């Protein structure tokens, strides 16, 4: 390979890389936009299934809008049981010290995510 070909290959790589980064960023934004609301708060957030929340403090008090139905649903955070809560009500899940994926077991609803800053 001569010097001209080497320079051409080097010039082509950043363009390909930028295209890939742009495509990945766009696909990520599309996925977030279609999955629920973006929620933010300081010290507390209220979310529902499919939402993504950013809390600016740790701990963060999390309230959750339970899906409609009858009886109760089990709610988990990072696959650990938080509790059983009544359908259709806004409930307190407690104070979160770290990020969690919130799932409603037995309900066909999307996972909600709460991002909490790490403690230094």
pLDDT tens digits along 69-91: 999 999 999 999 999 999 999 99
pTM of the model: 0.68
Q: Where are the domains of the chain?
A: 1-35, 36-115
Distance CA 14, CA 20 (A): 10
Cα atoms in the 13 Å half-sphere on the side-chain side of 54: 3
pLDDT at 36: 85
The pLDDT score that the predictor gives to residue 19 is: 33
Quick: pLDDT tens for 27-46: 333 333 336 888 888 889 99
**Class of the domain covering 36-115:** mainly beta
């Amino acid at each position: 390979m001569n010097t001209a070909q080497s320079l051409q290959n080097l010039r082509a790589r950043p363009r390909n890389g930028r295209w890939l980064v742009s495509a990945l960023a766009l696909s990520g934004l599309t996925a977030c936009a279609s999955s629920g609301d973006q929620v933010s708060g300081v010290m507390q957030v209220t979310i529902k299934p499919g939402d993504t929340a950013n809390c600016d403090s740790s701990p963060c008090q999390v309230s959750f809008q339970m899906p409609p139905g009858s009886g109760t649903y089990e709610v988990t955070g990072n696959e650990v049981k938080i509790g059983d809560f009544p359908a259709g009500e806004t409930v307190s899940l407690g104070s979160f010290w770290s990020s969690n994926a919130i799932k409603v077991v037995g309900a066909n609803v999307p996972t909600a995510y709460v991002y909490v800053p790490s403690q230094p």
